[in-house]
Structure 1
Amino acid sequence: MRNYRIANIWGIPIQLNISLLIFLPVLVWLIAATGQIEVYASIIDGLSSAPLDAEGLQEGLNPWLIGTAAAVGLFFSVAVHELGHAYAARRYGIGIRSITLWIFGGLASLESMPREWDREFWIAIAGPVTSVLLAGVFFGALQVVPASLPLVVFVVGWLAVINVTLAIFNMLPAFPMDGGRILRALLARSRSYASATRTAARVGTIFALLFAIIGVLSWNPVLILIAFFVYGTATTESRTTMLDELLTGVTARDVMDTTVRSVSADTSVADFTDRLLRDRQTEFVVVDSTDDVVGFVTLSALKRIDRDIYETTSVREVMETDVPAVEPSTPAFDVLVAMRNGPLVLVVEGDEQIGTVSRRDLGRVMDLRKQLGAGQPFERVAM
């Protein structure tokens, strides 16, 4: 989904995902028209020095003004929560690519995830701590807002309460919430990072199941969506860590195919088909007349065109133009990440193309290390 940059803080792009723009009116409605104002008014009345008239808050356009201000304030609070993570990460020298606000809250995209348990612990807990501190700021403001501004009293009080709620909710031990990362960090003190991730992911799936059950019984669509999101994230986190473990210590040079199989961009698809059968390969680098790489072509590309035009269609017309390139020393896991948009990565040393890495190459290494044990050293074998 598309993101829109709305600000830059500490050099970090703050992005607004389109899903939030769609969800924001729903959130306004949930606050304004589902009885929440009356519920929270009684809580805020006990926190504020200024008495609140719950009936007055619900007259005319007041609920919609409150809902709009509260919804915007909530996502401001989420942004500050994510900035807390960013501040802690920077203290450890970890860069932040961006902070994205979306339907499920916020996401600080770190350039790398720390493997040291104490670093992950402090980065993860910095978000909830920031939310509690922000709640304290709103609580302090609540004491000085005059009773003549009841809408402001309510919104400020609501933000004080909701930031404490945000901190508590994020402490639940389920990925991608901070509590899941805190749990993994604590588990990693006495076991491997991969084992800690698997255990934390299992706990996350249990919480996802609980969210789903509660969401269905209370017919809460938002909670059901959160359940699916938590389950998917916990599963992805576990799988990603397993792949990272299997590829630890392996570089692009270790797994690359040193034969760069290339085909001219002007070759007909018919001739390319003969080449596929002859070489028994399914991925080729595409080069122009000066032997510069201009794309890659695979067997699957041929399935998108009619056989009747194989003779009159060139490889240039069916190739993919985005060919990621890596250095020989690039960790294999980073090669896998670079491969997300295609099946092939070019290995370049200086100006020379020295090999390629395909999903098949990485799959062979992962399968071998899985059978031997991921901790086994990897030695280069000619491919």
Structure 2
Amino acid sequence: MNYTVFRVWGIPIRVHVSLLVFVPVLVWLIGSGEQLAAYEVVINATTPATVDAASLSDADRWLIGALAAVGLFASVTVHELGHAWVAMRYDIEVESITLWILGGLASLTEMPREWNREFWIAVAGPIASLLVGAACIGALVVVPESATVAVFAIGLLGVMNVSLVAFNMLPAFPMDGGRVLRAVLARNRSYVSATRTAARAGTLFAILFIFLGVVVTFSPILVLVALFIYVSATSESRAVVLGDLLSGLTVTDLLEPRGSVPVDATVETVFARLLAARRTDLPVVDENGAIVGAITATALRDVGPAEYETTTVGDVTTTDLPRIDAETSAFDALQTLQRSRSDVGFVVRDGEPVGLVSRADFAAALELRRDTTAF
């Protein structure tokens, strides 16, 4: 569940409920004495400031934890806005930016296949984080060391932003470094091949992170990051392959003669129609021949054999199907079915259903393309 908190350049900045749960935990992690002692060493070694965690009161510790936690996710927002700014320069729409337990996600309407565009969109986030980190470290030159809480919080944000850049630039697709890897690979090979290689690298890093998070040091967050990388890399690689296999096809190309069944026919007559058409779904038409829904093998499971003669097709017709324009690309249509969690959808032309398209139609097209295409 996401909540829109404000907008930047018209882009809704959303907070996922997982972040609301995680922030208090992050405040506690940062504000604990052991963590601040570790941060003290890093801040003193890498910034102009000199801090002493032992001199902090309990109230100071929790205040620093709260400021650093909020500041961290403000920094993540700036990081994602870096991606968004470059994407918009390439006329790519940014639907939203979502902050969640593992950081932030800028949702683009499309990911460009031109290697140079993906490269600059990917590195824009880390560059924004570097600028924030540099600004924080630079601020320590002018902030008086007597302002202990401010110095500690600003120093922490400087270190965190630089660390965020270092982590994000690991070639673990689909993190920023992984997208940079794909962009570089795509200069000299196909986009599909580059994606597959980058996805394999992401999978290897996911395994490494799980090992580190379980065996070396107990870190649930690192394990969650690993799972996110693995699932995202696998999903995006699959989507790219599907998109390539279905390229050039529209929904109209997938339409096949199905026949139809009248809305007042009995279920008993439907089985013969399904067998004759070798389908698991058929359009249902009214008395005027207009398509009003679909009858599916799944819906027929709910009808007992004793009710076949008394149950009409209209009683078990599915009417709330996704509507897909006939000129929609096959890949976008498949995405529509997946988002709606439906096995079948209406194909619409001029606002009126003209047929059905199902996952089986896509499977047949993919099998044919897979057998005739070499990557």
Indicate how the Cα distance of structure 1 residues 73 and 260 shifts in structure 2: closer, same or farther if over 3 A, else same. farther
Q: Which residue of 1 aligns with 2:152?
A: 154
**Structure 2 Cα separation of the partners of residues 121 and 25 of structure 1:** 35
Q: State the AA in 2 paired with 1:109.
A: S
Q: Does 1:140 align with 2:162?
A: no
**Structure 2 Cα separation of the partners of residues 151 and 287 of structure 1:** 72
Indicate how the Cα distance of structure 1 residues 234 and 286 shifts in structure 2: closer, same or farther if over 3 A, else same. same
Q: Which residue of 1 aligns with 2:171?
A: 173
**Structure 2 Cα separation of the partners of residues 236 and 229 of structure 1:** 10
Indicate how the Cα distance of structure 1 residues 149 and 258 shifts in structure 2: closer, same or farther if over 3 A, else same. farther
**Structure 2 Cα separation of the partners of residues 317 and 146 of structure 1:** 77
Indicate how the Cα distance of structure 1 residues 150 and 282 shifts in structure 2: closer, same or farther if over 3 A, else same. same
Q: Which residue of 2 aligns with 1:353?
A: 353
Q: Which residue of 1 aligns with 2:252?
A: 253
Q: Which residue of 1 aligns with 2:197?
A: 199
User: Following TM superposition, by how much is the alpha carbon of 1:53 offset from its aligned partner in structure 2, in angstroms?
Assistant: 2.7
User: Following TM superposition, by how much is the alpha carbon of 1:311 offset from its aligned partner in structure 2, in angstroms?
Assistant: 7.0
User: Comparing 154-163 with 134-143, which one deviates more in the overlay?
Assistant: 134-143
**Structure 2 Cα separation of the partners of residues 86 and 288 of structure 1:** 49
Q: Is the 8 A contact 1:263 1:284 kept in 2?
A: no
Count of equivalent residues: 372
Q: Is the 8 A contact 1:176 1:234 kept in 2?
A: yes
Runs of 5+ consecutive residues of structure 1 not aligned to the other structure? 376-383
**Structure 1 Cα separation of the partners of residues 242 and 65 of structure 2:** 44
Indicate how the Cα distance of structure 1 residues 347 and 26 shifts in structure 2: closer, same or farther if over 3 A, else same. same
User: Comparing 40-49 with 328-337, which one deviates more in the overlay?
Assistant: 40-49
**Structure 2 Cα separation of the partners of residues 70 and 311 of structure 1:** 69
Q: Which residue of 2 aligns with 1:236?
A: 235
**Structure 2 Cα separation of the partners of residues 74 and 312 of structure 1:** 64
User: Following TM superposition, by how much is the alpha carbon of 1:174 offset from its aligned partner in structure 2, in angstroms?
Assistant: 1.0
CA offsets 1:34-71 (integer angstroms, 9 cap, x no match): 621111123323555554231132x2233222222211
Q: State the AA in 2 paired with 1:37.
A: L
Indicate how the Cα distance of structure 1 residues 183 and 48 shifts in structure 2: closer, same or farther if over 3 A, else same. closer
Q: What SS does the corresponding residue of 2:146 show, helix, strand or coil?
A: coil
**Structure 1 Cα separation of the partners of residues 209 and 307 of structure 2:** 53
What TM-score results when the alignment is normalised by the length of structure 2? Answer: 0.89
Q: State the AA in 2 paired with 1:330.
A: T
Indicate how the Cα distance of structure 1 residues 355 and 163 shifts in structure 2: closer, same or farther if over 3 A, else same. same
Indicate how the Cα distance of structure 1 residues 319 and 179 shifts in structure 2: closer, same or farther if over 3 A, else same. farther
Q: Is the 8 A contact 2:258 2:282 kept in 1?
A: no
Q: State the AA in 1 paired with 2:360.
A: R
User: Following TM superposition, by how much is the alpha carbon of 1:248 offset from its aligned partner in structure 2, in angstroms?
Assistant: 1.2
**Structure 1 Cα separation of the partners of residues 42 and 288 of structure 2:** 73
Q: What SS does the corresponding residue of 2:14 show, helix, strand or coil?
A: strand
Indicate how the Cα distance of structure 1 residues 368 and 275 shifts in structure 2: closer, same or farther if over 3 A, else same. closer
Same amino acid, percent of matched pairs: 50
Q: Which residue of 2 aligns with 1:20?
A: 19
**Structure 2 Cα separation of the partners of residues 287 and 131 of structure 1:** 58
Q: Is the 8 A contact 2:259 2:277 kept in 1?
A: no
CA offsets 1:191-246 (integer angstroms, 9 cap, x no match): 00000001111111111111111111211111112112111111112111111111
What TM-score results when the alignment is normalised by the length of structure 1? Answer: 0.87
